[in-house]
Structures are given as C-alpha cells and as structure tokens.
Amino acid sequence: MAGARQTVPARHQDVPAESASFHRLRALPDGPEKDELRRATVCAWLPMAHRLASRFRDRGEPLDDLRQVAAIGLVKAVDRYDPGRGKAFETYAIPTVVGELKRHFRDHTWDVHVPRRVQDLRNQVRVARRDLAQTLGGRLPTEAEIAGVTGLCTEDVRAGLEALDSYRTLSLDAEMPRADDGSCLADTLGLCDHALDVAVDREAVKPGLRSLPERERTILYLRFFRDMTQDRIAETLGLSQMHVSRLIAQCCAEVRRQALQETAGQPT
C-alpha cells in the first residue's frame, strides 16, 4: 500500500553493513584477488559467527571449539551465498552457522552414537525435566509428568532419559555410587575366561578320546589333566617312559585325525 512504512529488523552491532562485496566476489575469477576478498569478507562477519557460537556455550563444549565450528559454517555461507536472490546475507548465514553448530553436537560430541530421532527425544526430555524440576521443588519429575509436558508417549520419554546417559560416559575408574569400600566401575567387570578359547577344541576331541582304549585314555588324562610327568605315569602303570611317550604321541595323532575328519564332515 502506498505510504506504508516497511519495518526493518534491528541489526546487531557485529553485522557489517551490506555492500557490493558479495556481487564482486561472485564476479571475480579464481585467483589471489578473489581469495583475498573472500578472506576479508569472512573476517568481517566473524564476530556474528562468534555471537552465534556463544549461544551453545553451556552444553559441555569449549567455547573456542564452538567458535571454530561456527567459523566453518560462516565460510560455507560465504561460499554458497547468492546475492542475486535478493536476500540479505545475514538471513542466509545465520541458519547456516547454527546448523553447523547443531551438526557438531549431533555428530561429534556424543560418547555413544544414538540415532538422530533419539537425540531429538533426549533434547526434549532434558529441557522438560529441567523446567519441571524448578516447579517441583528440586524433585525430579516422573516419566508421566514429562510425557504430559512434552506430549510424548511414555516409551519415547524413557528412550530420551536413557539417551541422557549416552552423551557423556563414565570412566572405568569412576567410583561406584553408594560404595563404602571405594570400589570403582572397573571392579564390576568380569575377567576373561581363557578356558573359553579351547571350549570348541575340547568338544571336537571328545569322540576321538572315547574311541581310545581305556589305558590310553588314562595316560592322556594323567598327562594333560593331572599334569603328571611321563616318568611318573610310567611308574604308575608299570610301563617304560619311552613306551608312555610313544603312546601319548600316537593317541594325540589319532585324536587329531578324527577331529579334523569330523570337522570336514568325513566319516571316521
């Protein structure tokens, strides 16, 4: 309508005045002059990127790292901005920089990778739990209370709560809660059972062992399960040490042959 006054949003002090630099940047061919203009343009808008980065400073990441991420987003915005579309650079750059910051938190700051949907649930649950705790006198809200505020179902709230523990993991040296003896998380982990390494082999040789004569089975049992020497076995069974040695070698070869045939699916 004629005579109507158009409202212009207030500009931040760290936003440079619009100029023809972007038109000139698009018109220049690749080379030192264009590189220098690109660098100067990025530097001019860098305070705005730092301001956007400061919005995320209370989320566990160092501010210097966030500023670097915001600068990357700014460079992408400068390279992709088309002044011919008529939009102000600030209108295009702000969502580009903020999107780069959000991608950084989504892809690089989680100790345990979780799907994007669960990350979004986690953010909704985190904000709702924080706000509800302020109105409940410090008491943590229940799943039902969080669901009532967020509009999520109970299962989604539970998934969001579980994701809260995925953002930062505990060290194995962390002390166990309510532990009076100073035990740490590593103390709850089981030890490696080396017997599992030979469990398959033990099962594979059982048929071959059963097919041996009783004397040979006794010799193998005394040697490998009772850890007796060949001299002691020979003395116990009234045999020579050389004969015991020969029987052990023959029995092991026979058991190995049958196990390999069984593995290959051949008849013994």
CATH no. for residue 164? 1.10.10
Give residue 167's pLDDT: 57
Rounded-to-integer distance, Cα 193 and Cα 186, Å: 16
CATH number of the domain bearing residue 236: 1.10.10.10
Number of independent structural domains in the chain: 3
**Is there a single domain that holds both residue 38 and residue 94?**
yes
pLDDT of amino acid 111: 53
191 φ/ψ sector (left φ>0, alpha ψ -120 to 50, else beta): beta
- 208, two tokens: 């071959």
Question: Is there a domain that residue 178 lies in?
Answer: no
Q: What number of H helices and E strands is found in the chain?
A: 11, 0
* CA-CA-CA-CA torsion sign (147, 150, 156, 162): negative
Task: Give the residue among 250, 230, 249 at the shortest CA–CA distance from 241.
Answer: 230
pLDDT at 43: 92
pTM of the predicted model as reported, rounded to 2 decimal places: 0.43
Query: So what's the pLDDT on residue 94?
Result: 92
What is the predicted pLDDT for the residue at 268? 46
Do residues 70 and 56 both lie within one domain? yes
With respect to residue 52, please indicate whether it lies within any of the assigned structural domains: yes
- Would you state the pLDDT for residue 3? 41
Domain shared by 252 and 198, yes or no: yes
Q: Which domain holds residue 257?
A: 194-263
Per-residue pLDDT of the chain (268 residues; tens, 9 = 90+): 444 443 434 455 555 655 578 888 888 888 999 899 999 999 999 999 999 999 887 776 788 888 999 999 999 999 998 888 878 888 889 999 998 888 887 766 555 556 677 778 878 888 888 888 888 877 888 888 888 888 989 888 888 887 776 655 556 666 666 666 667 766 667 667 777 777 888 888 888 888 899 999 999 999 988 899 999 999 999 999 999 999 999 999 999 888 888 777 654 4
Domain identity same for 94 and 155: no
Answer yes or no: do 70 and 44 share one domain: yes
CA distance 189 to 110: 23
Domain check: are 87 and 98 in the same one?
yes
Q: Are residues 208 and 235 in the same domain?
A: yes
Residues 52 and 68: beta-carbon distance below 8 Å = no
Q: Evaluate whether residue 183 is within a structural domain.
A: no
3-state SS string for 133-178: HHHCCCCCCCHHHHHHHHCCCHHHHHHHHHHHCCCCCCCCCCECCC
Q: 145 with 212, same domain?
A: no
Same domain? For 251 and 209 the reply is yes
Three-state SS for 268? coil
Asked whether residue 74 is domain-assigned, the answer is yes
Does one domain contain both 117 and 101?
A: no
In a domain, 179, yes or no: no
214's tokens: 């009783």
Asked if residue 79 lies in contact with residue 106, where contact means CB atoms within 8 angstroms, the answer is no
CATH no. for residue 36?
A: 1.10.1740.10
Helix orientation angle between 32-54 and 63-80, rounded to the nearest 10 degrees: 130
Using DSSP's 3-state secondary structure scheme, residue 213 falls into: coil
Which pair of tokens denotes residue 104? Answer: 């950084």
